[in-house]
Amino acid sequence: MDWLAAVPHDKVAAMRGFLDVWYADVPTADPTEIDSPVPLPAALTAFYERATRKPVIFGVHNSVYPPHELEYDEDEGGVVFAAENQGAWAKVIDPDDEDPEVYDDGEPDPEPLSGVLLQFALVEAVMSAPYATHEEVTRAERDELLTGLTRVPLSPASFPEHGTLLYAGPGVVALSYQSEAGHQVLTGRRRRQE
């Protein structure tokens, strides 16, 4: 959980720490060269350093594009670096900035690239976890389910739904958002609960 303490002051270090711990049991592939036709901000380089050795990090549900697939998209007004699996959203940056603002459908995200990549890593961890739950609950039940977890100090994520809050605890990641049907709580673990 050391990665969680880094979030307020170094989101890139937090992302590295989370990915290293969460995917520790995934076999490492031979590292490949990070070759991109566009400049890579530090946060994206750090993400690629892990994902090229453990490709599951690129995403199972949604995906961050591999570095060789990045290109400037005139229609989007920047470089699309990530997308939802059915085309519901695409994340766009100006790669010349150090920690660029992220745009989705022309709207700026509250988090810079470093925060959006950490959100992506956490959401994918929940969505692709070997042991997962999904509950539709009341507010009180949501609060009870999330007891013992720490809210990750990031702005609400815009995926899988706007207003998604992220939580973490030892060996578990969770997300919660409100839908028309009630509060949705999804949790993921890499190992069976003891």
The pLDDT of residue 192 is 81
SS (H, E, C) the chain: CHHHHHCCCCHHHHHHHHHHHHCCCCCCCCCCCCCCCCCCCHHHHHHHHHHCCCHHHHCCCCEECCHHHCCEECCCCEEEEEECCCCCCEEEECCCCCCCEEEECCEEEEEEHHHHHHHHHHHHHHHCCCEEEEEEECHHHHHHHCCCCEECCCCCECCCCCCEEEEEECCEEEEEEEECCEEEEEEEECCCCC
The pLDDT of residue 191 is 87
What is the residue extent of each domain of the chain?
2-124, 129-189
The pLDDT of residue 168 is 96
The pLDDT of residue 54 is 95
The string of pLDDT tens digits covering residues 12-39 is 999 999 999 999 999 999 877 888 999 9
Tens digits of pLDDT across the chain (194 residues): 899 999 999 999 999 999 999 999 999 998 778 889 999 999 999 999 999 999 999 999 899 999 999 999 988 889 999 998 887 889 999 999 999 999 998 899 999 999 999 999 999 999 999 999 999 998 898 999 999 999 999 999 999 999 999 999 999 999 999 988 789 999 999 888 74
The pLDDT of residue 47 is 97
